[in-house]
Chains A and B, each alone.
Chain A
Amino acid sequence: MSRVVFPARVLPYLLLSPQIAITAVFFYWPASQALWQSVLREDPFGLKTTFVGLANFRSVLADPNYLQSARVTVVFSVATALLAMAAALWLASAAERVVRGRGLYRTLLIWPYAVAPAVAGMLWLFMFNPAMGTFAYMLRRAGYNWDPLLDPGQAMTMVVVAAAWKQISYNFLFFVAAMQSIPRSLIEAAAIDGAGSTKRFWTIVLPLIAPTTFFLLVVNTVYAFFDTFGIIHAVTGGGPARATETLVYKVYNDGFVHLSLGSSAAQSVILMAIVILLTAIQFRFVERRVHYG
């Protein structure tokens, strides 16, 4: 990579400024606000604000509801990331094998990504709502006691599937691109070397797309942690009995519904720390096993 030297000193900053402005307004400013809020306590009418140090953090971490929400988040995130990636990988390898209409399949599989989270949530809600959902009706007709409004496990399954469904398109795109970048001759060499298609997938294809898989793991984890608010809000609203209340959802609930701003801010700071830590761990330990061509 050759190093580009700009003649003027101002130009590089000028070129970067739009991105910096966006990051500052939508990330640094709210993040610093959250940091500041997390050490304050405010009365519900916003009339009095007191500095309380780390008291918010202490009360949040001692709250059994918060720990329950953390457990929910772990289950939800792991399940969503795994399901979204596994399904996308399966679809991508299936799309590789399609000869006719390959472009059509790919286009159709990308569509869900263009659906807004809340709309996606409503879609799944309408399909599986016990009162009016077609699939809920079919499930009950098949003798399965389907009621996500009462059953925490079923509610969790529903939000996981809805959240994963939304992310499959994105993952699919990356997996398809990664698989296409594997030279055909490698697959042919493996075929001549006596590896059947399943064996080829595990010993050749999967190791070679590992960089993409790793990237998607990071992206999907962050997605499951942060970007699934809309889906949970639309599908279950965190219920039943907080069974699907993830950390992000709890931040919203405590802050904007219960107006406990200090606690909510403390929670979002913790959440930020968790995601930073997770990403760091992924880069530190998983990336080592990844072979970059």
Chain B
Amino acid sequence: MDARIVILVSLFYLLLLFGVAIYANKRSKVGQSIVNNPLVYSLSLAVYCTVWTYYGSVGRAAASGLGFVTVYLGPTIMAPIWYMVMRKMILISKQLRVTSIADFLSSRYGKSTFIGVITTIILVFGIIPYISIQLKAIGYSFDLITSQNSSNDFWDSSTFYKDKVNYFTILLAVFTILFGTRSLDPNERHEGLIAAIALESIVKLVAFLAAGIFAVYFLYDGLTDVFSKGAINPITSHLVTLKTDPAAATNWFWVLVLSAVSVMFLPRQFHVSVVENNNVSFVRQASWLFPLYLFLISFFVLPIAIAGKLSLPDGSEPDMFVLSLPLFHGHDWLALMVYIGGFSAAASMVVVSVISLSIMVSNNLLMPFLLKTRTAAIEGYALLSDRLLYIRRLVIIIILFLAYGFYKSVSSNFPLVSIGLISFTAILQLAPAVLGGMYWSNANKKGAMAGLLAGFFIWFITLPIPTLAESGIISKSLLTDGYFSVPWLRPYGLFGLENVDHISNACIWSMIFNIGLFVVVSLLTTQDVDELAQGDIYVHIEKYSNTPDMEVIRREASVQKLKQLLVRYLGSAKTRYLLKIYDGKLSDKNDDNASQEFINFIEKTLTGAFGSASAKLLLSTDIRRQSVTLEQLNELLKQTKEILEYSQALEEKTTELTKTTQELATVNTQLKQLDVLKAEFISTVTHELRTPITSIRSFAQMMEKKEDLLPEQKKEFLGIILKECDRIKRLINQVLEVEKIDAEVDALGESSSIDSTVRLALSRLQPQIEEKNINLTYQSSDSTIMVNLAEDKMLQVMLNLLSNALKFCDAQAGIIKVTLERNDIVNTTYLEVYNNGQYISPQYHNKIFEKFTQLKDGNLAKPEGSGLGLYITRKFVEQAGGKVSFISSEKEGTTFILQFP
């Protein structure tokens, strides 16, 4: 393919990424972040997959079969542990505004400058080879894709200005500077960068899957075909079987450990998973989404390796099978897509790694040095932040060209994976200090220093130096004779260790010395006040993240001085902006003592911008700290724990109290409602009492005053008076009944015959039935059915239901039907009372069986009863273990249904 097309497409792709980044930044400024979700977060974690994955895995699979899987198995198996450790790391880093793994360690061990310096040095040494293989892969893939086009004899890798990798390096440096050092953000958050990384993760996955599908389904007839052909052919048969010798097992184990540790502590992983994290809860989804991504991207590795070995000419570079397969079979555009995928993998790794390294080098290496030298003390060395940006840009360029140099001198001779594993082993050296620092209170600065230095030293003499020897930079005799010609100091077989591979050798010895010294020195030495205070935050972060401004050691500072400090180092515009964001109770008085909250704010801001050790130095002159001894501090830490527990208990009490208050409020409303109902009830009852009394009074008065009444008239009047008296009596009885039911607990042990009670009720109501000329029918299927209710109560139930039916049934042609039947299958007795009268409007359906509810409809302005009949009915039926319900419709009338067991 024409080199110009490839270059144009690469440039266009970079522009696209930059556009996405700008768009994401814009969206984030208006508060509509496209990055703030678990999916983008998980995709950004896939920065883990570099060219090592993209090209190198196939190379490794072509050499040793399934061995490549360990690098993906490690993070997958460790997902639960990753989840726990990440959560804690994120909480700690947000609490302390930590912006790199070096600062994470420095801050833990008493904001130690020295720890920050050695961590940074280890990481720079460890990561530069790793970056160099990305450059190598970009150059190699570019060569390959343009190789058929022989016209480009312009390139010549031996001349600096003619080496294309050199131009790629420059391009990546520009890209990194644009992405990473646009401004100094105390949080080191780059939403645009993350959006671009997520896009690159999608591109590399899609491209790799496309290559895999091409190899498996276009060159062969599916996975079974590839594997069966691979198993028959002697060139590839060893790839599809698992090796079982102990040396291979040791290697598997260590690669598993290395990858599990690297996925947490690699600078670029720490940057995307901790520093750029928006929400700690994303970690939960990422703990399965990220392994899923790893599974997908490694799925076709082995088939591609087999297909490459079987179908490509001898001498093809295994690391480049992904690209050479489509090229060799004439699919140039697929090859271009694969090339862009690989370019994505390399670019995202380089950009994030270099940004992260530049933060560490500037904050943890250069800043403390600058601050301690005289120049920093000179007033007018203002706007450290601006200077810092220049420093970072310079650091980015230096790191990239160191990587370029390493590529030129060393990496070009080694496969991608072996160089990558050297970097992973360097990262492993941080693991004891980081994990110990997070979970072991006694871990201290001296222990961490000893462990880190020892581990780094062993790593250095067992991996990078022999690698230099292998590439001929130093004498090759080192490999066979050992250091100082001492045989048990042979770099690949340290202390006479035999039968292990280089990586296992380095891991075993570095870990023995690293962990051993870290633990022993920590136990033998004591912590100082800073270490103790910081260690408490790391180990018991949950205590602090609930109470962000808890201050263990009291500190004092003047507000004015702190403001000046910010202005001096961050500039007045930035300071004004920050103070606007900070809306604490800040006094304007110059000599005013700053609150702990404000001191924390200033410290966090400076830590974010310059690293914890530098912030400590910057603040040391302006903040007076209460001097405490170790014993006092231990006591204080214990107290804060107690205070925290106490405040938690208090919080629980408050919640309880709120709950009680709410309950009381509910009861109160209920009581008020009941009160309203009672008032209504009383007014109804008085109205109902007045009516009969009116008649009684009127007729009695007539009988008293008028002496000329006929005997029949007297008799009629007396009859009316008696009837109205009965009405009053009935009302009073019902009211009393309700009171009795409300107080009554149970009334079991009595029973009565339903049939005979119904008949009794009907005979009582006979006069009214006849008077209203109602068509009443009663059907009973069984006269022996009993109910667990005393007869007087059952009678009242029936009288209530029947008189309701009488009251509401059609005035002209009233029909009432009573049916009694027993269903033995469901073991239930049904008693139904139907009337053809007016239906009950839905608004009353829920209330009809409640106390004091009376139907008030347009057609029925005057409540006829006390509002107690159906309430009493329900209560009695429930006492008998039964249920009462009703069906009401405009056409059909109303049926009340009683169900008894």
* Bind each other: no
